[in-house]
Amino acid sequence: METSGTTESGSGPGTDSKQGAGPGPGTGELDAGPRKSSWKYIGPGIVVAATGVGAGDLVATLIAGSKFGYTLMWAAVIGCLVKISLAEAVGRWHLATGRTLFDGWRSIGGWTTGYFAVYVVIWGFVYGATAMSSSALPIVALFPDGPGLKTWAIITGLIGLVFVWFNQYAVFEKVMTVLIGVMFVVVVYVAIRVVPDVGASFAGLLPVLPDGSLIYTLGLIGGVGGTITMAAYGYWVNAKGWSNSSWMKVMRLDNRAAYITTGVFVVAMLIVGAELLHSSQIALTKGDRGLIDLGQILEDRFGPATAKLFLVGFFATSFSSLIGVWHGVSLMFADFVERMRAARRSGDTAKAGSETIGRQERSVPFRVYLLWLTFPPMTLLWLDEPFGLVIGYGVLGAFFMPFLALTLLMLLNSSRTPREWRNGWLSNGMLAAAGLLFIVLCVQQVRDLPW
C-alpha cells in the first residue's frame, strides 16, 4: 500500500552492497540508495503481528463467526488494511526522520508525555496479569493433573522475564517467528478440518450489516492485532538495523506480509466460528476461557489429537503476545526515560538506530519495566473475577489506539517529516478513519463497563 505522497526513492547515493545484504547502518549514516524489497529481510512485521494477536482477539472473532456466520468476512479484510496503514505510518516515521515515535510525540507537546507516562504504567500492570493468565490457560487444559492456573501463570511470566532479560532482538525475532508459525499452521489446519463453505466465504466479502452486528463489526475491524505494540513496530524496525529511508520498500513489504498473515488468522477463526459454532448454535464463554470451550468442542468432533494441537496453538498465540510486550513496550519505556533525561540535560534529540536499541535492551529502565510487567501484576492473579482483567485490558487498549492514530496524523503532515515522506491522501484517509473507529470503540468499551 503506497501511502506517502511520493515515490519510494531514496535520497542518497547508490545502494551500498554490504548494507544491502544485511542489517542497515547505525545512527548517523547517510541514506544509501533504496534497498530492494526481499522476503529474506522480513522480521519486525512478524514480531508485531504475533504480539498483537492475542487469545482474546481469537475469541472475539470466533464469537462474531458464531453469531453471524460468514457475513462479516468483509470487516476482517478492512481491519487488515487499517492495521497495514497504521503500522506503515509508524515505520515510515522512524525511517524518514531517524527519530523514535516517543521523540515525535514529545515534539507535539507536553500532554503527550503525560498521557504516555500514565498509560504505560497502568496498562502494564493490568496487561501483565492478563498475559500470564492467558498463557497459563492452555497449559492447565493440556495438563489437568498438574499445577493450577496461578502457578502456571507465574511460571510463564518468569520464563518471559528471563528470556527477554538475557536475549537481544535477533534471538527474540527467531523465537517469535517459530511461535507465529505454530499459530498459523494450527489455526489454518482447524479451519480446513471444519470444511469451510467457499461460496458463503466469498459472499461474506460484500459489506452487509445484519441486525445487532455493528459493535462486532467495529471490533473485527479495530480489535485484532491493534494494541500499543503497533507503536513498538518502529522500535523493532530500528532493532533490525533499518535506520533510514533507504529501507522504506523493505519495511513496507515486511508490514504487508505481517498483516496479511494476521488477516488469514482472522478469516480462519471466522470460518471455525461459522462452521463449528454458528450452525450448532453453540455459545462460548467470554474471555480467553472461550478457547478452552472450543478445545472441548474440537475434541468431541475430531478427537483428542486435534484438540491438543489447538491448545498448543492457543499457547503459542498467548505466549508470543507475552514476550512481545515484555520486549517491545519495555523498549518504548526505555526510550521514554532516555528522551526525558536528554531533554532535561540539553534539549537535544538523539537519533534512533540499532546501536541505540541494543544499548536500551541492556539499560536499567528497560529492565525496570520488565520487572513491572512481571511481579506487581502477579497480585491480580488472586482476584476472584479474572474476567475483570480482560475488561480492564480491553478498555485500556481502546484508549491508546485513537492517541496513536491522531498523533501520527499530526507528525506525518508537518515539517517534522521530510516532504517526500509525508502523508498522501490515502494514508490521511486511513489514519483518520482508524482514529474515528477507535474513538467509537473506546466509548463503547467504557459504556459496557459494569458501572
**pLDDT tens digits along 50-84:** 888 887 777 778 888 888 888 988 888 888 888 88
Query: Among 84-98, 260-274, 420-434, where is mean pLDDT lowest?
Result: 260-274
Query: Longest C-alpha distance within the chain, in Å?
Result: 65
**pLDDT for 139:** 94
Q: Which residue type occupies 56? A: G
Distances (CA, A) of 336 to 52, 113, 117, 264: 21, 8, 8, 34
Round to whole Å and give the CA distance between 301 and 395.
Answer: 35
Q: Is the pLDDT of residue 308 over 60?
A: yes
- In the beta sheet, which residues pair with residue 4? 423
Per-residue confidence (pLDDT) for residue 389, from 0 to 100? 55
What is the pLDDT, as a whole number, of residue 83?
85
Terminal-residue alpha carbon distance, the chain: 42
Alpha carbon distance 405, 231 (integer Å)? 10
- Of 57, 55, 63, the C-alpha closest to 80 is 57
Lowest mean pLDDT among 193-207, 250-264, 296-310, 339-353: 339-353
Rounded Cα distance, 205 and 140, in Å: 38
Query: 3-class DSSP state for residue 4?
Result: strand
The C-alpha cell at 284 is 462460548
Grouping H, G, I as helix, E, B as strand and the rest as coil, residue 423 is: strand
Stated pTM of the model: 0.86
- The confidence band for 259, taking pLDDT boundaries of 50, 70 and 90, is confident
Backbone angles phi, psi at 423, to 5 degrees: -60, 140
The C-alpha cell that represents 123 in the structure block: 496498562
CA–CA distance from 343 to each of 63, 339, 425, 443 (Å)? 47, 6, 34, 35
Lowest mean pLDDT among 16-20, 29-33, 107-111, 244-248: 16-20
Q: How far is CA 57 from the centre of its chain?
A: 11
For residues 175-200, average pLDDT: 91
Separation between Cα atoms, residue 314 and residue 358, nearest integer Å: 31
The Cα–Cα gap between 264 and 218 comes to: 18
Which residues are within 8 A (CB) of 163 and not within 5 positions of it... i.e. 6 or more apart? 172, 175, 323, 326
DSSP 3-state of 25 = coil
CA–CA–CA angle 351, 352, 355 (5° rounding): 110
Q: Where does 269-355 show beta strands of DSSP type E?
A: none
Q: How many residues does the chain have?
A: 451
Torsion angle in degrees (nearest 10) through CA of 95, 2, 419, 45 = -10
Range with top average pLDDT, 12-16, 110-114, 275-279: 110-114
Per-residue pLDDT at 364: 95
- Gap between the Cα atoms of 252 and 12, Å rounded: 19
Q: Which of 394, 392, 406 is nearest to 436 (CA)?
A: 406
How far is the C-alpha of 145 from the C-alpha of 435, rounded, in Å? 46
pLDDT digits over 138-182, tens only? 999 899 888 988 999 999 999 999 999 999 999 999 999 999 999
